[in-house]
Amino acid sequence: MAVNEYITICTSGSELSKKFYAILNGYTEIFQKAQTVEDNIEGDPLITNGGIRFMINYVLKLSAEMADTSFGTKEDLKSMYLLNNPNAEPSDVLTLTDHYGVDHFVKFTGPLEMNPLTTMIDGEDSYFYTPIRFIEVIDG
């Protein structure tokens, strides 16, 4: 299976679709059960299970400007992150095409931190190390 060095993020109405370089050692797939664990009257565990969430972590390498306009900048990523209304167009549901070329309907979760890797913070020579987390949603 071919693996891309980038992911693609697209807004719900395809107003904005950009590729972003993904750093492999920052990639993590997370499955999390919604469950509670309590002790019953005999002291045995009483486990109640709910749904299972699928989350994906990436670390992106961003720049303030890109010569290739098919690749996103830190401002493009920020614009997608700031989508906050599920009923607006575009909504806060994004299409993530992962590094394998598989599409996922996702929402951002957690903070958006843009950590500079260079002393330059503007222009094509500026780079940012940006960890992101997505949670997969059922309906796109």
Question: CA–CA separation, 55 vs 108, rounded Å?
Answer: 10
- 59-to-33, 56, 89 alpha-carbon distances in Å: 24, 10, 27
- Whether 20 is covered by a domain: the verdict is yes
DSSP per residue, 28-41: EEEEEEEEEEEE-T
pLDDT recorded at residue 139:
60
> Residue 41 class from Cβ within 10 Å (0-12 exposed, 13-18 middle, 19+ buried)?
exposed
pLDDT recorded at residue 77:
96
pLDDT recorded at residue 125:
85
pLDDT recorded at residue 120:
83
pTM score, whole prediction? 0.84
pLDDT mean values, one per 10 residues, the chain (140 residues): 87 91 88 90 90 93 92 94 88 93 94 90 88 85
Range of the domain at 26: 6-136
- Whether 98 is covered by a domain: the verdict is yes
Question: CA–CA separation, 45 vs 39, rounded Å?
Answer: 5
pLDDT recorded at residue 1:
63
Quote the number of domains for the chain: 1
- Whether 1 is covered by a domain: the verdict is no
Q: For position 106, which CATH number holds?
A: 2.40.30
